Structure 1
Amino acid sequence: MSNQAVANRYADALFQLAQEKGILEQVNEELQVVKQVVQTTPAFSQFLGHPKVTTEKKRAFVQESFQQSISETSLNALLLLVDRKRIDILVAMIDKFKALAYEAQNVAEATVYSAQPLSEEEKAQLAELFAKKAGKAKLLVKNIVNSDLLGGLKIRIGDRIYDGSVKAQLERLERQLIAGTR
């Protein structure tokens, strides 16, 4: 079985448990912190993946690292991955859990590319407007400044892209002029 399929199974199980306990949002936030630690600290993954380090030492390390900052449910999920020697699927499991949690909460993430940084008020307005278009109750907006856009916005929600940038409008105009349709 592929690592992604295994990660999906663990994520499904953790999702169901968190949903039963009513702590879905909390577990999702905790797992995002764990993911950030794993991705920003390569030594963390190297230690947990090292074959000569005993499972007991790995368990103790995980408990020391996260016991104070995450719930028992999240901690037990991490310890289970250590026990089963599946720590290599941790990031994939967290990503799948996040997708399941967002789907259950009717939430989506939007990446907004703009020529200049957006204010919090502008982000809130975009979130409200595009949540309706995406059919979601809530939209979490992440702003990325891209000076190549010249002006306007480019918004990515899942696999959909709304391109209202000046650069895209100029490119469309150029294609129309070359094709002779204008």
Structure 2
Amino acid sequence: MSEAVVANRYADALFQIANEQGKTEQLMEEFDVLGEIFRTNHELNAFLEHPRVSNSRKKQFIGDVFNDFSVNVKNTLKILVERHRTEVIPSIIDHYIKLMNDAKGIAEATVYSVRELSDDEREQLEKTFAKRLNKQMVKLQNVVDPSVLGGVKVRVGNSIYDGTISGKLQRLERNIGIAN
């Protein structure tokens, strides 16, 4: 089974349990911390994936280190250790965040521009795309991309909205090519 499918199943189950218990926000906060730990602490990943360290020792470590986390998160981590699937933890966190955002009507997007956008420009883009995507809010992450000659390109999930000059020129070129 692919990593994405496994991660989605765990995230879906955790979201459903947290929703039933009214603890979706608590789990979100725990996942923010957990995500940062797994992104920055390469020694932890190496330890959890090391074949010579026993699963019982790894699970004991998780119980000790993540003592303040909810039972559901700790048990999920222990199951992942037991099944040798700790590499999917960041994907589980990402999918859980997506589920939370969907439930709240929030979309995350990346905007590529030739320079850093001002707060007003970012706010205007967020409002425009919130309406366009029928969401309560859009959270934009600005990426400065020198290959963008002018305008902006916005990526929301798998969709790309290309308002760059080079994108417009390419569309014009295709249209002219069709006319010939």
TM-score range with shorter-chain normalisation?
0.7 to 0.9
The Cα RMSD (Å) is 2.5
CA spacing shift, 1:27–1:2, aligned 2, 3 Å: same
What is residue 150 of structure 1 aligned with on the other side? 149
Contact 1:134 1:157 in 2 (8 A): no
More deviation in 165-174 or 149-158? 165-174
Separation in 2, partners of 1:93, 1:77: 10
Q: CA offset at residue 122 of structure 1?
A: 2.4
What is residue 17 of structure 1 aligned with on the other side? 17
Q: CA offset at residue 103 of structure 1?
A: 2.0
More deviation in 169-178 or 110-119? 169-178
- 1:99 pairs with 2:61: no
Q: CA offset at residue 43 of structure 1?
A: 2.1
Task: Name the aligned partner's letter for residue 51 of structure 1.
Answer: P
What SS class does the counterpart of residue 147 from structure 2 fall into?
helix
Task: Name the aligned partner's letter for residue 139 of structure 2.
Answer: L
Segments of 5+ residues of structure 2 without an aligned counterpart are: none
What is residue 117 of structure 1 aligned with on the other side? 116
Q: CA offset at residue 112 of structure 1?
A: 0.5
Q: TM-score, normalised by structure 2?
A: 0.83
Task: Name the aligned partner's letter for residue 108 of structure 1.
Answer: A
Q: How does 1:1-182 map to 2 (within 5 A)?
A: 1-68=1-68, 70-177=69-176
What SS class does the counterpart of residue 59 from structure 1 fall into?
helix
Segments of 5+ residues of structure 1 without an aligned counterpart are: none
Contact 1:154 1:161 in 2 (8 A): yes
Q: CA offset at residue 14 of structure 1?
A: 0.6
Separation in 1, partners of 2:56, 2:107: 39
Q: CA offset at residue 83 of structure 1?
A: 4.2
Cα distance per residue 1:65-118 (max 9 Å; x no partner): 4335x4444334323323444323322322332232222222211110111101
Percent identity over the alignment is 41
Q: TM-score, normalised by structure 1?
A: 0.82
Contact 1:109 1:140 in 2 (8 A): yes
CA spacing shift, 1:6–1:159, aligned 2, 3 Å: closer
Task: Name the aligned partner's letter for residue 171 of structure 1.
Answer: Q
Separation in 1, partners of 2:3, 2:117: 38
